Amino acid sequence: MGKIISFFDTTLRDGEQSPGCSMNKREKLILAKQLERLGVDVIEAGFAAASDGDFESVQVIANEIKNSTVAVLARAVKGDIDRAWEAVKGAAKPRIHIFLATSPIHMEYKLKKKPDEVVQMAEEMVKYAANFCPEIEFSAEDATRSEPGFLAEIFDRVITAGAKIINIPDTVGYAMPNEFYDFIMEIRGKSRYLDTVQISVHCHDDLGLAAANTLAAVRAGATQLECTINGIGERAGNAALEEVVMALDVRRDIYGIDFNINTKEIVKTSNLLSGITGVHVQPNKAIVGANAFAHESGIHQHGVLAKRETYEIMTPESVGLTASKLVLGKHSGRHAFKDKVESMGYDLTEEELNEAFEKFKALADQKREVFDRDIGAILTKGIAGEDARYKLNRFVINAGNTITTTASVVLNIDGEDKEGISFASGPIDAAFSAIEKCLDKDILLEDFSLQSVTEGTDALGFATVKLRYKGNHYLGRGVSIDVIEASINAYIDAVNRIC
């Protein structure tokens, strides 16, 4: 058995910062449980000081997850650290992850602090957090644009203060793989204590090099890799966990590394994330894209039939892609539905399961075959709304190419019905402005998109609405066979998220 490398998954924190990928507490918990089944060593559950919602999500994940360490992010300030500890202290294995920028540009323009002050702040805050939390990780934000000598100094100080994991992030995705390798080796050479703790890396994908840089860091001695599922994350995203894991797996001849990830759970985790967020990966995405194991050209097909390895460097089964897709229909019972939902990674309460089963039955009446992606779509809605204030009661749209479209939408708001009537050039436009008439909020529609969940004229429509309210963005999702209803539901979902 080779050296063991740890996977630190930040889908629920850095990943959630990705446009369209925000999740509520229930959705985060479902994903966290799947990440635990996937075998990630550390789950970064959120940034507790960012909002009450983030705090509660970290707390519930910390209380439920038993096998993986649960990490929580904090800036190097006492208030953040207190809040982080309050949220994570119920975890079987808690970790506080403190970050502070170390590059000249960040220190001068963002922190407005001198390098000495930054070192002192990092040291004091790590010491403060280590008083109550047994495991502290320190991240030097924008490390790859920082001075290696300065990093060595700050790392030695925070290690002495109690940090057990030192993270070297390529925050802006600027590094090149060979340069990143040399950079880590140089810091290791200059630091007295770095080799006594775990070295971690966290790479962003602005130049499409996040996975390559992460692998270069493994060669330079990193033993913790920070990644996200499907590579979601701030801007161009983070290193995709599935890519890094499978590279280490397929090229064991180079790396000789072992890990605790159960690769057979990869596709399920990727689909679960897409189902929850409604953000699908592109078809040609490595490992988890729809075409990742599809062979289109005749020459390739012939080769694969003669000997699989001619064009396949790993098997679809090794990432959990199995040929049999049990399709459900209107005669499927609750038991088959429950099995299917569980096999997709959803861990629902009885009440959620009952609600989802009702939706499934209604859908199966309208649609001949119900596919996994349909179920993912109805579940997304099933677990998104907790005690929604705004509910759709009914709507009527009168549309045609020779008349002005009219819409009447009746919402139930806190138990009371309110009707909005509007005219516009199209049905969705009219429906949205009818909803706006029912609201007492100054809301701006920023984006709207509609896509079909599967193929065929009876496919479900999946609508996404982005609203702006008091400077913040809120994303709502809606699903229905009727695309106007899907759009209205998405709008109402976003309004409920504001509340």
Kindly list the residues in this chain that would bind Zn ion in the complex (CB under 5 A): 14
Partner interacting with residue 363 (select from ligand KIV, Zn ion, none; CB below 5-8 Å by kind):
none
> Rounded to whole angstroms, how far apart are CA atoms 260 and 38?
8
Rg (CA), the chain: 24
Partner interacting with residue 106 (select from ligand KIV, Zn ion, none; CB below 5-8 Å by kind):
none
Shortest reach from residue 17's CB to Zn ion, in Å: 8
- Biggest distance spanned by C-alpha atoms of the chain: 78
Partner interacting with residue 489 (select from ligand KIV, Zn ion, none; CB below 5-8 Å by kind):
none
Partner interacting with residue 34 (select from ligand KIV, Zn ion, none; CB below 5-8 Å by kind):
none
224 binds ligand KIV (CB under 6 A): no
Q: Dihedrals φ, ψ of 419, to 5°?
A: -110, 140
- Cβ proximity to ligand KIV: between 140 and 479 the closer is 140
Sign of CA dihedral 88, 273, 216, 255: positive
Measuring CA to CA, how many Å separate 15 from each of 55, 240, 366, 465?
A: 16, 10, 35, 19
**Bridge partner residues of 396 (DSSP):** 408
Shortest reach from residue 204's CB to Zn ion, in Å: 6
> Rounded to whole angstroms, how far apart are CA atoms 7 and 35?
11
- Cβ proximity to ligand KIV: between 99 and 491 the closer is 99
72, 96 in Cβ contact below 8 A?
Answer: yes
Residues 6+ apart with CB under 8 A from 278: 20, 377, 380, 462, 464, 477
Shortest reach from residue 355's CB to ligand KIV, in Å: 36
- Cβ proximity to ligand KIV: between 239 and 460 the closer is 239
- Cβ proximity to Zn ion: between 95 and 381 the closer is 95
Measuring CA to CA, how many Å separate 154 from each of 133, 192, 287?
A: 20, 11, 38
Shortest reach from residue 10's CB to Zn ion, in Å: 7
- Cβ proximity to ligand KIV: between 43 and 292 the closer is 43
Q: Which of 7, 99, 128, 180 binds ligand KIV (CB under 6 A)?
A: 99
Shortest reach from residue 213's CB to ligand KIV, in Å: 12
Tokens of 481: 């066979």
376 binds ligand KIV (CB under 6 A): no
75 binds ligand KIV (CB under 6 A): no
- Cβ proximity to ligand KIV: between 14 and 485 the closer is 14
Partner interacting with residue 18 (select from Zn ion, ligand KIV, none; CB below 5-8 Å by kind):
none
Shortest reach from residue 78's CB to ligand KIV, in Å: 18
390-395, long-range: CB < 8 A, 24+ apart: 390/439, 390/492, 390/495, 390/496, 390/499, 391/492, 392/485, 392/488, 392/489, 392/492, 393/417, 395/431, 395/434, 395/484, 395/485, 395/488
Partner interacting with residue 480 (select from ligand KIV, Zn ion, none; CB below 5-8 Å by kind):
none
Shortest reach from residue 326's CB to ligand KIV, in Å: 39
Pairing of strands 405-413, 416-424: antiparallel
Q: Which of 6, 8, 11, 14 binds ligand KIV (CB under 6 A)?
A: 14
171 binds ligand KIV (CB under 6 A): yes
Tokens of 300: 């390739």
Partner interacting with residue 139 (select from ligand KIV, Zn ion, none; CB below 5-8 Å by kind):
ligand KIV
Q: By CB under 6 A, which span of 88-96, 164-172, 250-258, 401-409 interacts with ligand KIV?
A: 164-172
Relative orientation angle of helices 52-64 and 78-88, to the nearest 10 degrees: 40
Residues 6+ apart with CB under 8 A from 66: 36, 92
> Rounded to whole angstroms, how far apart are CA atoms 26 and 381?
11
Site string for ligand KIV, 135-154 (x = CB under 6 A): ----x-x-------------
Sign of CA dihedral 158, 160, 161, 165: positive
202 binds ligand KIV (CB under 6 A): yes
169 binds ligand KIV (CB under 6 A): yes
213 binds ligand KIV (CB under 6 A): no
328, 370 in Cβ contact below 8 A?
Answer: yes
Q: How many residues sit close enough to ligand KIV to count as binding (CB under 6 A)?
A: 10
Residues that bind ligand KIV (CB under 6 A): 14, 73, 99, 139, 141, 167, 169, 171, 202, 204
